[in-house]
Amino acid sequence: MEPLPTLAEIESAKALIRPLIRETPTYRWPLLERDLGCELWLKHENHTPVGAFKIRGGLVYMDELRKLDPSVRGVIAATTGNHGQSIAFAAKRNDLRAVIVVPHGNNPEKNAAMRSLGAELVEHGREFQEALEHSRELAGREGLHAVPSFHPWLVRGVATYALELFRFVNDLAAVFVPIGLGSGFCGVAAAREALGLKTKIIGVVSAHAPAYALSFKSGQFTEQSSTTRVAEGVACKTPHPDALAHILRHAHDVVTVSDDEALDAMREIIQATHNIAEGSGALAHAALKKHRASWKGQKVACILSGGNASTSLLREAFNR
């Protein structure tokens, strides 16, 4: 298991990304708090140049890659959207070719966004795992560096949002954070450990992509196919061993949220804050609402990890 980044490493990542990414807002929203019975702080990672937290890790990864291999000419990644936008954005900044592989039926707005950032988009397979396997074949065939969806460099960049959160809001009892492959959770854990805090970390997954929740409950690696149609950003079938090891060590709990609960949370966030939350971005708030009795009277944060929702999904959220 790779160690979590240190405070010095997170600070270095913050200095690297700051010219391109300003500190994202952390706000209280009375309409969201109204029925929760707790003090809620929402970390707005939808306020980045690609509308999601992943960009932080992509910039750090590409910087390290160029230093390690100055001769690299192109990169490839598999994604359902936000990781692909991150890699496309960072590759363009470093004059690298970017090939992004997505499953068929992927969010069309995310596909368009990746193309607008200069990515060559390849559609393959029915789910993320099939897209990932195809990306590895293409990497060897075309001489591209394969960027993983979980890596210590990615965690180091992502940890910068957690550092911002913990320095802005003191004495948080808990942070709810979505888990896709695990970089977001590990970034929060890294910042908490680096600052010596006691804040509990609750990971949130889709009830229709429960691999990490099942693994956490059993204490061992468990695969489970994803059937979520709302929270594609957490559509994980196969947990990453390093991420799982950190989750088993640092998570207070890993809870699940259904697609219907995610849709309701999307609508509530939009109505209360006039910010868009994609399905996975709404999971943290949905989980807090579901478990609000446990946090009554306490100070809690939720990570709005991204706002790249498709028009059709937004329509469905509002028509419920």
At 41 the three-state DSSP class reads strand
At 84 the three-state DSSP class reads helix
Using CA atoms, how far residue 207 sits from 222, 230, 280, in Å, is 14, 11, 12
Q: In the chain, where do the E strands start and end?
A: 26-27, 39-44, 74-78, 97-102, 120-123, 145-146, 174-178, 200-206, 253-257, 299-304
pLDDT at 127: 84
Q: Which of 292, 237, 239, 296 is nearest to 265 (CA)?
A: 292
At 213 the three-state DSSP class reads helix
CB 181 within 8 A of CB 150: yes
Q: Starting at the edge strand that comes first in sequence, how are the strands of the sheet with 97-102 ordered?
A: 120-123, 97-102, 74-78, 145-146
Using CA atoms, how far residue 60 sits from 9, 260, 306, in Å, is 11, 35, 19
Note down pLDDT in tens along the chain; length 320 residues.
899 999 999 999 999 999 999 999 999 999 999 989 999 999 999 999 999 999 999 999 999 999 999 999 999 999 987 999 999 999 999 999 999 999 999 888 899 999 999 999 999 998 888 999 999 999 999 999 999 999 999 999 999 999 999 999 999 999 999 999 999 999 999 999 999 999 999 999 999 999 999 999 999 999 999 999 999 999 999 999 999 999 999 999 999 999 999 999 999 999 999 999 999 999 999 999 999 999 999 999 999 999 999 999 999 999 98
pLDDT at 243: 98
Question: Nearest 5°: CA angle at 248, between 246 and 250?
Answer: 60
pLDDT at 182: 97
Amino acid residing at 29: W
At 237 the three-state DSSP class reads coil
The H-or-E segment that residue 204 falls in is strand 200-206
Radius of gyration, CA atoms only, the chain: 18
d(Cα 192, Cα 163) in Å, to the nearest integer?
8
Give the total residue count for the chain: 320
Q: Which of 143, 153, 219 is nearest to 186 (CA)?
A: 153
d(Cα 82, Cα 68) in Å, to the nearest integer?
25
The residue behind tokens 């004495």 is 171
CB 183 within 8 A of CB 189: no
Per DSSP, 249 falls in state: H
Buried b / exposed e along 139-159 (16+ C-beta atoms within 10 A): beeeebbebbbbbbbbbbbbb
pLDDT at 1: 85
CB 301 within 8 A of CB 172: yes
d(Cα 283, Cα 285) in Å, to the nearest integer?
6
Q: How far is CA 109 from the centre of its chain?
A: 17
pLDDT at 50: 96
pLDDT at 290: 98
Q: Which of 56, 110, 61, 107 is nearest to 82 (CA)?
A: 110
